[in-house]
């Protein structure tokens, strides 16, 4: 069995292994070092939980969040208000609104309420955040940090403002912290593999390509943010019950910087990395704390020097960025195979796609499409049809308007006039991420793969879009990889593939969407003649096998003449010819556009 | 030798022998911020503390019989790290715990030592709620915010100021509550508050706040703030630049060379301090001794307030005759008029924030002159 509850079994075993390791370390510390070991372990476990809550959003989306520490603060205050003894509350918070006062709940009731607060906070902050571009979103999280800090300081009746909020019972024992860490390990590790997690990781690697396979990036970011923030408020509540007394300052820049440092040192891209980062830095800090009290080395005694832990933290960060930019763990996750040194998972069995029900006479039609940028007319009333079961070639010299036309067809550019329809759907009115579901898949001129995802994940991310289960999506992905001759390398990251294989992987990803139409944007660009020949063979096979309308944009005349059933020629924004390759080849307007006018040639001869 | 004389000499010898036999090693734990944002206060406090412990050990220890070892842990000015350090120290069995110059970590650490019945003193935490927040084992040592405010209000009334403007920042308890305590004490004595302004820590530009003050009609007689570097110099420059000439009252946060370095615009500033080291005073002598020992004079009064803490403890241990938690707590809470470098310290009748002398100094031409040293009248100190 490869999947359980729609999530790969390796993720479950990986999370279990990681949890077992962390638990063994914590218990070992307690048994070996007594109360001190217990203290060290409790704080480290809370840090693991906090960093994993951060990793759910930042690790998968690639957007570093500076706001999480502030949301932890919200959790700490919310939960602290509920668990606080009534007498302590009266003296600490004399002006507390009555509905908040005197609950004296247990930890678990308080955590349940805090989760509710976390969801609300996540939704409110996630709405604006998910609308921001990747780079602005990081700055947006910084704004949340500042806004929440100001609100916590301002809400004096509830939080005592900048004064210490005290009297919070210290309920976070080693076992509570261990439970939190284990739950967060499972949550973070499994989340990566959910449909949402995979979609988010794909968007992290390449936003345009993610949209093209039908991923609604805003939606993915929104829900991941809500989940991540809810976890952060819960961990914050436990951190509050560990501290016992705190103020908004304790949840400000310093805290989030520590967590981000841990995440970067360990590795932003894997759950195991986040855990490794916390353990590594916790170890560095604890060792240097011992060392700073003065160290006897037998022959010399080092003097007492304070500040060693910070120095160590800075050095660790610097060394990581220099030597291992993806962090200690890089892209790898802890799994059984890490110990057994043999592959622990069999490749999924290829699964043939069920035939897509195709409405008769469906075609991709471009109707009177015009695009004007200010005074410049990029496309002028272009019309043509891409029929099912045929290859349509689109050619034109540089600047003819091919790229603009592709952007219009794929929903990335709104036409000034006219429309592009597929069956009954107007593609040109859809946002880019809904074009795939309408039946159009595409590849890109400058290959856009999800580089740090495996070949399988690249293709499965697309196959999963049609509401398929993980197992089904992997089966289809395997079939497409096999078709493209990439099956033996299914578990390697896309970045490791050679140029020609990257092209094929991109085509496999597009085909996994089971599209009615496939748009290939300069598929032979950058290929040598041998690679081009292989590509032509692949595409000819595809044409024979599948009932698929293909639109190829290409400069390589040999390829396009051999492959196309019909051709459309653009020049300076206008369609100048349409017909079979032979007709187009003989068309004087095409010859003029590509070679120049006869008169021009005569002049040259005459001179 | 008379019988009586012999008896006395015997008993003296016995006492000496007994004393020597009873000498006991104890550990005092310090979970204080030697690095980070609080190091400016905790570092000098520690230097003073260590010097006093050396002196006391040389004389036979606390209460004449407890030889002290220090277990010093750096908290990196982080509350989480303070909790960890406090837990370690409590587990190691320290007899007394010292916490940083700030309310958050002091309360967080105090909650741990309170449960273990270990008397705990904050280096120079000034927030008067620290002690009540923790419980009966928590003691302040430094002049509290409300005491400083009360003395400033007494001074303002004595100078005949009728109306005051207060500038506060909600970003820290010190910058927020001290001006509020001042307003409370000032109005209780018949003054009025002409208005109040707010700023953010590290704000730099005070044009908006200063414009508001300059527009007040009638202008306030005095302006009070607990702002410190870098906000106070920025505020003062903007204020004088806008032509406002009202005198300014400040708190111990501006007791640094930066303030006297501001030149002419600093003239007339009156602020509180824990002590002023004039020649011939105990504090002045201490500064000389410290300079002889370390090669440089103390840069802040925190060295002196840190130095005073072991002597406060010595008085309590002497009274209690033991360093057991409950007995030492009761002895500390009953201390009255213990003479230290900057005056006297009393805990009896307080909420364990000490009633102690505070000095008012005035700045003229780049130098400070003490104008008043007094313990604020408990009746006029605003409730924490």
Domain boundaries, chain A: 7-290+302-330, 363-606
CB atoms closer than 10 angstroms to residue B57: 15
Chain A positions in Cβ-Cβ contact with residue B107 (cut-off 8 Å): 164, 166, 244-245
Q: What does chain B come to in residues?
A: 384
Using the 8-state DSSP alphabet, how is residue A355 labeled? P
The pLDDT value recorded for residue A397 is 87
- Which one has a higher pLDDT value, A24 or B1? A24
- As a whole number, mean pLDDT of residues A362-366 equals 90
Q: Among A93-107, A294-308, A499-513, B317-331, whose mean pLDDT is lowest?
A: A294-308
Q: How far is A153 from chain B (nearest CA, A)?
A: 7
Give the span between the Cα atoms of A278 and A307, in whole angstroms: 19
DSSP track, A127-141: HHHTTS-HHHHHHHH
Q: Are B125 and B159 members of one domain?
A: no
Q: Does B322 touch chain A (CB under 8 A)?
A: no
pLDDT digits (tens, 9 = 90+) for A234-286: 999 999 999 998 999 899 998 999 999 999 999 999 999 999 999 999 888 88
Give yes or no for residue A302 having a pLDDT over 90: no
Question: Among partner residues B84, B104, B110, which is closest to A246 by beta-carbon distance?
Answer: B104
**pLDDT over 70 percentage in chain A:** 94
Q: Are B334 and B252 members of one domain?
A: no
- As a whole number, mean pLDDT of residues B175-190 equals 94
Q: Are B184 and B207 members of one domain?
A: yes
Task: Work out the pLDDT band at B224, boundaries 50, 70, 90.
Answer: very high
- Cα atoms found within 13 Å of the Cα of residue A400, Cβ hemisphere only: 22
Q: Are strands A417-422 and A363-373 parallel, antiparallel or unpaired?
A: antiparallel
> Does the distance separating the beta carbons of A247 and B35 come in below 8 Å?
no
Q: Does B78 touch chain A (CB under 8 A)?
A: yes
Burial A458-487 (b: 16+ CB within 10 A, else e): bbbbbbbbbebebbbbbbbbbbbbebbebb
Give the span between the Cα atoms of A511 and A517, in whole angstroms: 9
- List the single best residue of B47, B74, B177 to mutate versus A (max A Cβ within 10 A): B74
What is the number of H-type helices and E-type strands within chain A?
24, 14
Give the class (CATH, top level) of A363-606. Answer: alpha beta
Write the CA distances from A130 to A54, A63, A138, A226, A523, integer angstroms.
16, 11, 11, 10, 33
Q: Are B233 and B332 members of one domain?
A: no
- Which one has a higher pLDDT value, A463 or B300? A463
> Does the distance separating the beta carbons of B72 and A34 come in below 8 Å?
no
Cis amide prior to B316 (ω within 30 degrees): no
Give yes or no for residue A448 having a pLDDT over 70: yes
- As a whole number, mean pLDDT of residues A546-571 equals 90
Give the span between the Cα atoms of A13 and A11, in whole angstroms: 6
Chain B positions in Cβ-Cβ contact with residue A309 (cut-off 8 Å): 74, 76
Task: Work out the pLDDT band at A459, boundaries 50, 70, 90.
Answer: very high
> Does the distance separating the beta carbons of B76 and A310 come in below 8 Å?
yes
Give yes or no for residue A525 having a pLDDT over 90: no
Give the span between the Cα atoms of A267 and A466, in whole angstroms: 31
> Does the distance separating the beta carbons of A43 and B80 come in below 8 Å?
yes
Q: Are B105 and B28 members of one domain?
A: yes
Q: Are strands B355-356 and B343-346 parallel, antiparallel or unpaired?
A: antiparallel
CB atoms closer than 10 angstroms to residue B359: 26
Question: Among partner residues A162, A239, A289, which is closest to B173 by beta-carbon distance?
Answer: A162
> Does the distance separating the beta carbons of B103 and A247 come in below 8 Å?
yes
Q: Among A135-139, A158-162, B244-248, B354-358, whose mean pLDDT is lowest?
A: A158-162
Q: What does chain A come to in residues?
A: 607
Give yes or no for residue B19 having a pLDDT over 80: no
> Does the distance separating the beta carbons of B111 and A244 come in below 8 Å?
yes
- As a whole number, mean pLDDT of residues A324-340 equals 81
Question: Among partner residues A170, A254, A293, which is closest to B78 by beta-carbon distance?
Answer: A254
Q: Which residues contact B307 (CB under 8 A, 6 or more apart)?
A: B48, B49, B51, B52, B286, B290, B341
Give the span between the Cα atoms of A503 and A501, in whole angstroms: 5
Q: Are B177 and B267 members of one domain?
A: yes
Instruction: Report H helices in A169-248.
Output: 174-193, 195-205, 207-212, 217-243
Question: Among partner residues B35, B132, B170, which is closest to A306 by beta-carbon distance?
Answer: B35
The pLDDT value recorded for residue A604 is 44
Using the 8-state DSSP alphabet, how is residue B301 labeled? T
DSSP track, A370-432: EEEETTEEEEEEEEEEEETTSEEEEE--TTSSHHHHHHHHTTSS--SEEEEEETTEEGGGS-G
Q: How far is B251 from chain A (nearest CA, A)?
A: 18
- As a whole number, mean pLDDT of residues B216-222 equals 93
Give the span between the Cα atoms of A273 and A281, in whole angstroms: 12
> Does the distance separating the beta carbons of A35 and B91 come in below 8 Å?
yes
Give yes or no for residue A188 having a pLDDT over 90: yes
Q: Does B46 touch chain A (CB under 8 A)?
A: no
Q: Are B349 and B364 members of one domain?
A: no
First to last CA, chain A: 77
The pLDDT value recorded for residue A113 is 97
Cα torsion angle, A594, A598, A600, A604, sign: positive
Please give the residue of chain B at the shortest CA–CA distance from A246.
B104
Range with the largest mean pLDDT of A61-65, A463-467, B122-126, B254-258: A61-65
Burial A156-169 (b: 16+ CB within 10 A, else e): eebbbbbbbbbbbb
A9-61 and B79-91 are packed helices; what angle lies between their axes, rounded to 10 degrees?
130
- As a whole number, mean pLDDT of residues A42-61 equals 96
The residue among A273, A234, A228, A277 whose CA lies nearest residue A63 is A228
- As a whole number, mean pLDDT of residues A212-227 equals 97
Give the span between the Cα atoms of B144 and B140, in whole angstroms: 8
Question: What is the CATH number for B296?
Answer: 3.40.50.2300
- List the single best residue of B73, B83, B140 to mutate versus A (max A Cβ within 10 A): B83
The residue among B194, B164, B199 whose CA lies nearest residue B182 is B164
pLDDT digits (tens, 9 = 90+) for A378-426: 999 999 999 988 999 999 888 889 989 999 999 889 999 999 999 888 9
Q: Among A71-85, A321-335, A469-483, whose mean pLDDT is lowest?
A: A321-335
Give the span between the Cα atoms of A348 and A336, in whole angstroms: 18
Q: How far is A304 from chain B (nearest CA, A)?
A: 10
- Which one has a higher pLDDT value, A387 or A351? A387
Question: Among partner residues A36, A153, A243, which is closest to B79 by beta-carbon distance?
Answer: A243
Residue with structure tokens 């809400």?
A: A155
Q: How far is B152 from chain A (nearest CA, A)?
A: 22
Question: Among partner residues B35, B87, B127, which is closest to A39 by beta-carbon distance?
Answer: B87
> Does the distance separating the beta carbons of B76 and A163 come in below 8 Å?
no
Residue with structure tokens 């070679």?
A: A595
Note whether A48 and A184 are within 8 A (CB). yes
Note whether B90 and B119 are within 8 A (CB). no
> Does the distance separating the beta carbons of B35 and A289 come in below 8 Å?
no
Q: How far is B103 from chain A (nearest CA, A)?
A: 6
Q: Are B152 and B258 members of one domain?
A: yes
Mean pLDDT over each residue of chain B, to the nearest integer: 90
Q: How far is B69 from chain A (nearest CA, A)?
A: 13
- As a whole number, mean pLDDT of residues B325-338 equals 94
Chain A positions in Cβ-Cβ contact with residue B83 (cut-off 8 Å): 242-244
Q: Are B161 and B236 members of one domain?
A: yes
Task: Work out the pLDDT band at B10, boundaries 50, 70, 90.
Answer: low
Note whether A390 and A362 are within 8 A (CB). no
The pLDDT value recorded for residue B201 is 81
| Residues belonging to chain A with any Cβ–Cβ distance to chain B shorter than 8 Å | 34-36, 39-40, 43, 91-92, 153-154, 156, 161-164, 166-167, 170, 239, 242-247, 249-250, 254, 289, 292-293, 304, 306-307, 309-310
Phi, psi (rounded to 5 degrees) for B240: -70, -30
Q: Are B229 and B376 members of one domain?
A: yes
Contacts A–B by Cβ distance under 8 A: 101
Overall domain count for chain B: 2
Phi, psi (rounded to 5 degrees) for B241: -65, -30
> Does the distance separating the beta carbons of A39 and B129 come in below 8 Å?
no
- As a whole number, mean pLDDT of residues B164-178 equals 90
- As a whole number, mean pLDDT of residues B98-103 equals 92
Using the 8-state DSSP alphabet, how is residue A8 labeled? E
Q: Among A441-445, B14-18, B198-202, whose mean pLDDT is lowest?
A: B14-18
Using the 8-state DSSP alphabet, how is residue B226 labeled? -
> Does the distance separating the beta carbons of A245 and B104 come in below 8 Å?
yes
Tell me which residue range forms the domain holding B320. 3-143+280-353
Give yes or no for residue B157 having a pLDDT over 90: yes
Task: Work out the pLDDT band at A344, boundaries 50, 70, 90.
Answer: low
pLDDT digits (tens, 9 = 90+) for B334-346: 999 999 998 899 9
> Does the distance separating the beta carbons of A242 and B80 come in below 8 Å?
yes
pLDDT digits (tens, 9 = 90+) for A583-603: 998 999 888 888 776 554 444
Q: How far is B225 from chain A (nearest CA, A)?
A: 17
Give the span between the Cα atoms of B152 and A529, in whole angstroms: 89
- List the single best residue of A306, A307, A312 to mutate versus B (max B Cβ within 10 A): A306
Q: Does B176 touch chain A (CB under 8 A)?
A: yes
Q: Does B241 touch chain A (CB under 8 A)?
A: no
Mean pLDDT over each residue of chain A, to the nearest integer: 90
Burial class of residue B277 (count of CB atoms within 10 Å of its CB; 0-12, 13-18, 19+): buried
Q: Write out the E strands in A225-289.
A: none
> Does the distance separating the beta carbons of B170 and A164 come in below 8 Å?
no
Instruction: Report H helices in chain B.
Output: 3-22, 39-58, 79-91, 103-115, 130-134, 145-158, 173-188, 207-214, 231-241, 257-260, 282-294, 302-320, 325-333
Note whether B167 and B227 are within 8 A (CB). yes
- List the single best residue of A163, A249, A294 to mutate versus B (max B Cβ within 10 A): A163
> Does the distance separating the beta carbons of A164 and B111 come in below 8 Å?
no
Task: Work out the pLDDT band at B299, boundaries 50, 70, 90.
Answer: confident
Burial A56-82 (b: 16+ CB within 10 A, else e): bbbbbbbbbbbbbbbbbbbbbbbbbbb
Residue with structure tokens 């962390």?
A: A22
Chain B positions in Cβ-Cβ contact with residue A162 (cut-off 8 Å): 170-173, 176
pTM: 0.85
Task: Work out the pLDDT band at A169, boundaries 50, 70, 90.
Answer: very high
Give the span between the Cα atoms of B252 and B236, in whole angstroms: 16
Residue A454 three-state SS: strand
Q: Does B203 touch chain A (CB under 8 A)?
A: no
Helix (H) or strand (E) holding B341: none
**Torsion from C-alpha of A447, A451, A457, A458, nearest 10 degrees:** -10
Chain A positions in Cβ-Cβ contact with residue B127 (cut-off 8 Å): 163-164
Burial class of residue B382 (count of CB atoms within 10 Å of its CB; 0-12, 13-18, 19+): buried
Task: Work out the pLDDT band at B20, boundaries 50, 70, 90.
Answer: very low
Give yes or no for residue A231 having a pLDDT over 50: yes
Q: How far is A371 from chain B (nearest CA, A)?
A: 50
The pLDDT value recorded for residue B3 is 56
CB atoms closer than 10 angstroms to residue B261: 10
Taking only Cα atoms into account, the Rg of chain A, rounded to an integer number of angstroms, comes to: 30
Q: How far is A290 from chain B (nearest CA, A)?
A: 9
Q: Are B87 and B210 members of one domain?
A: no
Structure tokens belonging to residue A465: 């879009």
> Does the distance separating the beta carbons of A310 and B35 come in below 8 Å?
yes
Phi, psi (rounded to 5 degrees) for B109: -70, -40
The pLDDT value recorded for residue A607 is 37
Note whether A331 and A201 are within 8 A (CB). no
Task: Work out the pLDDT band at A342, boundaries 50, 70, 90.
Answer: low
Q: Are B16 and B75 members of one domain?
A: yes
Cis amide prior to B218 (ω within 30 degrees): yes
Structure tokens belonging to residue A214: 């039908």
């Amino acid at each position: 069995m490869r999947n359980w509850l729609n999530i790969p079994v390796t993720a479950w075993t990986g999370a279990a292994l990681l949890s077992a390791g962390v638990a063994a370390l914590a218990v070992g510390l307690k048994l070996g070092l007594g109360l001190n070991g217990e203290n060290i372990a409790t704080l480290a476990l809370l840090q693991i939980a906090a960093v994993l809550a951060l990793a759910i959003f930042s690790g998968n989306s690639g957007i570093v969040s500076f706001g999480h520490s502030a949301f932890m603060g919200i959790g700490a205050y919310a939960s602290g208000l509920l668990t606080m003894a009534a007498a302590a509350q009266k003296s600490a918070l004399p002006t507390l609104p009555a509905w908040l006062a005197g609950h004296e709940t247990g930890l678990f009731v308080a955590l349940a309420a805090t989760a509710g607060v976390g969801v609300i906070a996540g939704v409110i902050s996630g709405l604006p955040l998910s609308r921001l571009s990747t780079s602005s979103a990081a700055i947006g999280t910084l704004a949340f940090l500042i806004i929440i800090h100001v609100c916590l300081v301002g809400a004096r009746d509830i939080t005592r403002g900048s004064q210490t909020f005290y009297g919070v019972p210290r309920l976070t024992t080693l076992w509570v912290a261990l439970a939190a860490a284990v739950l967060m390990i499972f949550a973070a590790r499994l989340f990566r593999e959910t449909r949402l997690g995979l979609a988010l990781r794909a968007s992290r690697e390449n936003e345009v390509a993610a949209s093209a396979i039908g991923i609604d990036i805003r939606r993915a970011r929104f829900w991941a943010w809500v989940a991540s923030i809810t976890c952060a408020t819960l961990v914050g509540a436990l951190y509050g019950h560990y501290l016992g007394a705190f103020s908004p300052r304790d949840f400000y820049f310093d805290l989030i910087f520590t967590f981000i440092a841990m995440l970067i040192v360990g590795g932003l891209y894997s759950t195991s990395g986040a855990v490794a980062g916390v353990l590594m830095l916790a170890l560095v800090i604890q060792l240097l704390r011992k060392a700073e009290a003065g160290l006897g080395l037998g022959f010399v005694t080092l003097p007492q020097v304070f500040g060693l832990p910070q120095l160590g933290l800075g050095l660790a960060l610097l060394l990581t960025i220099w030597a291992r930019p993806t962090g200690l763990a890089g892209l790898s996750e802890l799994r059984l195979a890490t110990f057994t040194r043999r592959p622990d998972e069999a490749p999924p069995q290829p699964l043939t796609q069920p035939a897509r029900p195709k409405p008769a006479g469906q075609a991709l039609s471009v109707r009177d499409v015009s695009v004007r940028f200010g005074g410049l007319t990029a496309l002028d009333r272009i019309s043509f049809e891409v029929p099912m079961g045929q290859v349509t070639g689109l050619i034109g010299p540089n600047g003819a308007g091919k790229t603009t036309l592709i952007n219009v067809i794929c929903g990335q550019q709104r036409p000034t006039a006219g429309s592009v329809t597929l069956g009954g759907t107007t593609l040109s009115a859809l946002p880019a991420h809904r074009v795939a579901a309408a039946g159009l898949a595409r590849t890109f001129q400058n290959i856009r793969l999800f580089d740090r995802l495996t070949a399988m994940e690249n293709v499965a991310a697309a196959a999963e879009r049609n509401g398929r289960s993980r197992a089904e999506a992997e089966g289809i992905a395997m079939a497409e990889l096999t078709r493209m001759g990439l099956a033996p390398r299914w578990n390697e990251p896309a970045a490791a593939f050679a140029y020609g294989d990257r092209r094929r992987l991109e085509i496999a990803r597009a085909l996994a969407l089971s599209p009615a139409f496939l748009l290939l944007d300069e598929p032979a660009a950058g290929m040598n003649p041998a690679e081009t020949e292989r590509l032509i063979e692949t595409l000819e096979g595809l044409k024979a096998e599948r009932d698929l309308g293909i639109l190829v944009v290409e400069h390589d005349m040999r390829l396009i003449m051999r492959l196309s059933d019909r051709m459309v020629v653009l020049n300076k924004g206008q369609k100048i010819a349409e017909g079979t390759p032979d007709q187009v080849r003989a068309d004087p307007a095409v010859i003029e556009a590509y070679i120049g006018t006869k008169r021009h040639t005569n002049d040259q001869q005459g001179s | 030798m008379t019988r009586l004389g012999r008896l006395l000499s015997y008993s003296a010898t016995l006492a000496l022998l007994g004393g020597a036999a009873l000498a006991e090693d104890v550990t005092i734990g310090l979970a204080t911020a030697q690095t980070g944002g609080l190091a400016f206060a905790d570092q000098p406090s520690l230097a003073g503390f260590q010097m006093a412990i050396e002196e006391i050990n040389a004389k036979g220890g606390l209460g004449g019989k407890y030889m002290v070892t220090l277990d010093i842990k750096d908290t990196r000015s982080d509350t989480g790290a303070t909790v960890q350090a406090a837990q370690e120290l409590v587990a190691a069995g320290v007899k007394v715990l010292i916490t940083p110059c700030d309310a958050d970590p002091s309360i967080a650490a105090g909650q741990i030592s309170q449960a273990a019945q270990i008397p705990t003193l904050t280096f120079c935490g000034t927030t008067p709620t620290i002690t009540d927040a923790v419980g009966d084992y928590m003691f302040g040592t430094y002049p509290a915010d409300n005491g400083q405010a009360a003395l400033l209000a007494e001074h303002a009334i004595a100078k005949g100021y009728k109306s005051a403007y207060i500038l506060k920042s909600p970003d820290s308890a010190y910058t927020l509550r001290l001006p509020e305590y001042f307003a409370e004490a000032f109005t209780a004595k018949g003054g009025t508050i002409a208005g109040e302004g707010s700023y953010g820590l590290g704000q730099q530009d005070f044009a908006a706040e200063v414009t508001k003050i300059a527009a007040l009609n009638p202008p306030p007689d005095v302006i009070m703030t607990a702002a410190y570097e870098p906000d106070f110099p920025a505020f003062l420059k903007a204020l004088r630049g806008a032509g406002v000439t009202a005198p300014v009252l400040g708190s111990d946060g501006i007791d640094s060379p930066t303030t006297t370095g501001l030149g002419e615009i600093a003239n007339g500033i009156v602020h509180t301090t824990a002590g002023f080291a004039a020649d011939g005073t105990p504090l002045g002598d201490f500064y000389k001794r410290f300079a002889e020992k370390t090669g440089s004079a103390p840069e802040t009064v925190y060295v002196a307030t840190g130095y005073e803490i072991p002597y406060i403890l010595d008085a309590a241990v002497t009274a209690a005759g033991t360093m057991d938690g409950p007995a030492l707590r009761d002895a500390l809470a009953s201390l009255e008029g213990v003479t230290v470098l900057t005056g006297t310290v009393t805990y009896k009748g307080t909420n364990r924030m000490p009633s102690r002398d505070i000095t008012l100094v005035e700045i003229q031409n780049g130098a400070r002159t003490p104008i008043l040293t007094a313990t604020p009248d408990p009746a006029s100190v605003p409730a924490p």
